[in-house]
Amino acid sequence: MSITIQARGISVGIGSGAILVSSEPISFLSGVDQETGVVIESGHPLEGQSIAGKVLAFPYGKGSTVGSYVIYALRRNNMAPSAIINTEAEPIIAVGAILAEIPMVDRPDTAIEMLEDGRSASVDGSSGKITLNEN
């Protein structure tokens, strides 16, 4: 049985994959290697993990506006997340997702901390629906 969570659509499209949750914001400039998709920010909860092909859930972005272009470079290098879920979207991540054509939502009616790492999910950035699939 699947579970549907309603959120606000930010960047259109549908992306699916395993959920990867961070309790901390992410800086894409100097926080994520654009060639490998691995989180390189020292001390970050996701340090050493790849975001490539994942439904990446985190509170919000931080850092420089160049982060938008890093998200675009991740997509160009086939290392981007398949979708993004934020507690609250801010311009750096939203612009990056739109440029890279990565489905994105924010303001889910279930806190991102309640999402299970590794659970299969689909994000529809047009309707704002997050579908959690049975594993």
pLDDT in tens, 59-99: 999 998 999 999 999 999 999 999 999 999 999 999 999 99
The C-alpha atoms of residue 29 and residue 111 are separated, in whole angstroms, by 26
Confidence (pTM):
0.97
β pairing state of 120-124 and 104-106: unpaired
Give catalytic residues, as residue numbers. 64
**Cβ–Cβ under 8 Å, residues 62 and 27:** yes
Q: Which CATH superfamily is domain 3-132 in?
A: Phosphohistidine domain (3.50.30.10)
Question: Taking 80 as the threshold, does the pLDDT of residue 135 lie above it?
Answer: no
Host H or E run for residue 7: none
DSSP secondary structure letter of residue 55: E
Look at residue 134 in the predicted model and tell me its pLDDT. 83
pLDDT in tens, 9-61: 999 999 999 999 999 999 999 999 999 999 999 999 999 999 999 999 999 99
Host H or E run for residue 73: helix 67-76
Look at residue 1 in the predicted model and tell me its pLDDT. 81
Look at residue 21 in the predicted model and tell me its pLDDT. 98
Domain boundaries, the chain: 3-132
Give CA angle at 118 (116, 123), nearest 5°.
Answer: 80
Q: What is the dihedral of CA 92, 95, 101, 103, to 10 degrees?
A: 70
Question: Taking 80 as the threshold, does the pLDDT of residue 6 lie above it?
Answer: yes
The C-alpha atoms of residue 104 and residue 60 are separated, in whole angstroms, by 12
